[in-house]
């Protein structure tokens, strides 16, 4: 692997990366630390914000790139980055046997804790619920995935979340089950300003990050 991060004049290079608070808090810092051990010449400046803010800052050139679930807009190059499946989480009832998989049809009659309709995650989930013609009760509506998981732990209802959200569940008394028939995936994107060259070393960091997230997801069993 070639050394990266310094220009021909030996200057330290910086890559600015924006992503959601979930990814910024639970995945990126550890990845950045590991990458810094390999390539101390490249500094990654992390910016955590909602997806609309990240998109605007990439559009205006304030950020080199963004990671998340973004709409396709003019002037921004959007490419696939990683896929996460949708899973069902419930409060842990001690003594109950864990199930390997649950079909979407089994959600009929459930009370579901949902995110606000503006959430790209929830929009994908709502489309699949509609396709499956499932009748369910809507419980609380949360603005944050953290709140949604906490409400499930309190046994206010179940929730369908992207498997990346299981990073928030590791210290919660909840159990997760893969949803099948069909398996539905949520696409994460990398976005950059169209026509703008990235700093030296940025592409190598992105390649490293894909490998890091794949390993993290496999260890956590959330692909």
Asked if residue 190 and residue 180 are part of one domain, the reply reads: no
Nearest-10 Cα torsion for 140, 144, 148, 149: -170
Are 51 and 19 in the same domain? Answer: yes
What pLDDT, on a 0 to 100 scale, did the predictor assign at position 11?
Answer: 59
CATH of the domain at 199: 3.40.190.10
Is 2 among the domain residues? no
Asked, for residue 7, whether it belongs to a domain, the answer is no
In a domain, 152, yes or no: yes
Question: Quick one: 124 and 162 in the same domain?
Answer: yes
152-157 long-range contacts, CB within 8 A, separation 24+: 152/89, 152/90, 152/91, 152/113, 153/91, 154/91, 155/91, 156/111, 156/113, 157/110, 157/111, 157/112, 157/113
Query: Would 3 be classed as within a structural domain?
Result: no
Confidence (pLDDT) at 218: 79
8 assigned to some structural domain: no
Whether the CA torsion 208, 190, 20, 76 is positive or negative: it is positive
Asked, for residue 1, whether it belongs to a domain, the answer is no
**172 and 197 inside one domain:** no
CATH number for the domain spanning 93: value is: 3.40.190.290
Residues of the chain below pLDDT 50: 1-10
Tokens of 99: 């199930």
4 part of a folded domain: no
State residue 2's pLDDT score. Answer: 36
Q: Quick one: pLDDT at residue 60?
A: 94
Residues 76 and 103 in one domain: no
185 three-state secondary structure: strand
Same domain, 115 and 171: yes
Split into its structural domains, the chain has a count of: 2
pLDDT for res 5:
40
Do 129 and 190 share a structural domain? no
Position 120 scores a pLDDT of 86
Domain identity same for 18 and 44: yes
Residue 169 sits in the same domain as residue 194: no
Specify whether 197 is located in the same domain as 214.
yes
- In terms of domains, do 166 and 88 share one? yes
Residue 203 backbone class (left: φ over 0; alpha: ψ -120 to 50; beta: rest):
alpha
In a domain, 135, yes or no: yes
Q: Which residues form the domain of 144?
A: 84-185
Query: Residue 168 has what pLDDT?
Result: 87
pTM surpassing 0.85? no
Residues 94 and 56 in one domain: no
pLDDT of residue 1: 35
Q: What is the pLDDT of residue 59?
A: 95
């Amino acid at each position: 692997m070639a050394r990266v991060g310094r220009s021909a004049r030996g200057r330290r290079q910086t890559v600015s990366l924006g992503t959601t608070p979930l990814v910024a808090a639970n995945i990126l810092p550890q990845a950045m630390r590991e990458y810094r051990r390999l390539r101390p010449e490249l500094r990654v400046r992390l910016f955590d914000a909602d997806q609309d803010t990240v998109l605007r800052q990439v559009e205006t050139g304030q950020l080199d790139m963004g990671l998340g679930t973004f709409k396709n807009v003019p002037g921004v190059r959007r490419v696939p980055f990683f896929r996460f499946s949708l899973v069902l989480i419930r409060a842990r009832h001690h003594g109950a046997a864990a199930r390997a998989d649950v079909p979407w049809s089994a959600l009929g009659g459930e009370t579901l804790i949902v995110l606000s309709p503006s959430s790209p995650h929830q929009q994908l989930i709502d489309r699949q619920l509609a396709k499956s013609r499932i009748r369910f009760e809507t419980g609380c509506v949360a603005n944050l995935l953290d709140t949604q998981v906490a409400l499930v732990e309190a046994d206010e209802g179940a929730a369908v979340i992207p498997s990346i959200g299981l990073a928030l569940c590791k210290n919660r008394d909840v159990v997760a089950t893969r949803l099948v028939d069909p398996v539905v995936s949520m696409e994460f994107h990398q976005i950059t300003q169209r026509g703008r060259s990235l700093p030296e070393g940025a592409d190598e960091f992105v390649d490293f990050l894909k490998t890091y997230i794949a390993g993290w997801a496999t260890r956590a069993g959330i692909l």
